[in-house]
Amino acid sequence: MNQQQPAKQRPQPQRTCVICGEKRDKRSLTRVVNTETGLRVDPSGKLDGRGAYLCEKISCWEQAVRSPLLGKALRMALTDIDRKRLIEARP
């Protein structure tokens, strides 16, 4: 009577979109990082620097470009170059 027990799934880390506030699995969000060279989109999730997460909703990305919420989360003022990088990286 040796039954195999189902493998336990490891819990996925949860992160929150800084714009809409929805909690999701870390891998389903895009990390944006304040680096020494300015704002960077970090698909690997491993760049050094202060990070914030955005979900895949286009409305969140558009609001991140327009509003000060992302800059506040990253503790930086977004420049026009940073906004351009966000627009280019948007899903």
Per-residue pLDDT of the chain (91 residues; tens, 9 = 90+): 566 777 788 888 999 999 999 999 999 999 999 999 889 999 888 999 999 999 999 999 999 999 999 999 999 999 999 999 999 998 8
Strand intervals (E) in the chain = 14-16, 23-25, 30-35, 38-42, 50-54
pLDDT of residue 10: 85
Counting Cβ atoms within 10 Å, is residue 52 exposed (0-12), middle (13-18) or buried (19+)?
buried
Residue 24: CATH number of its domain: 3.30.1230.10
pLDDT of residue 1: 55
3 belongs to a structural domain: no
pLDDT of residue 39: 94
1 belongs to a structural domain: no
Question: How many domains, in total, are found in the chain?
Answer: 1
pLDDT of residue 26: 93
Whole-structure pTM value: 0.86
